[in-house]
Structure 1
């Protein structure tokens, strides 16, 4: 079979015009194909162009799947983002202690909002207690409860839940600020060490 293939290749080269090209590729069934025209659909293994001696003239560039292309693009985007962050770190900070100062300032701002939430929570809890007391008296005396009182109590309960959720988010934000500062300090030291070598 190898001899027949070589004979075909030799005949193809001898009978082809001087300017004709010869292509080789592996089809989807795994068979090697030869033609003076490239395949209509690009095979995953790529297409090789052969010279007059039947040797590979241009190495095939593998055809990447959509997922492989996306993966490469994502990796390149992450690498560019890391380079941008590294430049920003080096331009913004000369010592790790400077990162600590920024960290503490950001945490202070978040904690200020948490203190404001605590005051809102206290006021909402007091309003809720007053309303619940008023509603309990009305039920005890078998008076009809106005819909606006029930609506107000529902609004206060929602406000308390929202404040509590916001506080949890702010605690997560503080943890993220601390974690990011530690990562930035570590990276800054790595970059400074690499520059000094």
Structure 2
């Protein structure tokens, strides 16, 4: 490496068809593997010769870096301490809990309405009369509505987990970016 002509400018490094590493001030004429250019210090710089998969992977890596920098900037601009992240998490969880409480009350109301409808249905059964269509429709509607609300409650539980995970991740990244010592 000491014999490289530093004044020559760009130095190319590649692996030839026999698997040997080659250096030159001119790029190889044929197909070669691992073509890189070296700067004046002998450090590798990527050349423009990449496969489609490598190019796609590099673009994805660059996109991910840009996205991470955007998220980091937003995190640093949004919060001044890790405690603020905890406060936001707690506020989001409180709002979610209020929604869950509302849904539980809705289920309770529907169940109470269902008890009255069941009492009516039992009267018809005791009299050995067929259940009126509107009564059966109301029972079916209540059952379906309870199922929908229970699914919503499950989604809200999952959202609570995501909120906690996101807050912990943001807090760890914030601490890393700010170099705070963990408490």
TM-score (norm 1): 0.64
Match for residue 163 of structure 2 among 161, 172, 177: 177
- How much has 1:130 moved relative to structure 2? 1.5
- How much has 1:64 moved relative to structure 2? 1.3
- How much has 1:128 moved relative to structure 2? 1.4
Q: CA offsets, 1:119-165, max 9 Å, x none?
A: 10100111112212211220221112211111111110011111111
1:89 aligns to what? 75
The size of the alignment, in residue pairs, is 142
Computing the radius of gyration from Cα coordinates, the structure with the larger value is: 1
Match for residue 128 of structure 1 among 114, 117, 123: 114
Superposition pairs of residues 109-128 of structure 1, within 5 angstroms: 109-128=95-114
How far apart in 1 are the matches of 2:111 and 2:58?
A: 54
TM-score (norm 2): 0.69
1:100 aligns to what? 86
SS at match of 1:61: coil
Stretches of structure 2 that go unaligned for 5 or more consecutive residues are 1-27, 35-46
SS at match of 1:177: helix
Q: CA offsets, 1:64-93, max 9 Å, x none?
A: 14xx55444333322222111100111111
SS at match of 2:88: helix
- How much has 1:107 moved relative to structure 2? 0.7
How far apart in 1 are the matches of 2:99 and 2:48?
A: 60
Stretches of structure 1 that go unaligned for 5 or more consecutive residues are 1-22, 27-31, 33-44, 47-58
The alignment yields a C-alpha RMSD, in angstroms, of 2.5
How far apart in 1 are the matches of 2:67 and 2:99?
A: 31
> In the superposition, relative to structure 1, how do residues 90 and 24 fare at CA in structure 2: closer, same or farther (>3 Å)?
same
1:150 aligns to what? 136
2:49 aligns to what? 61
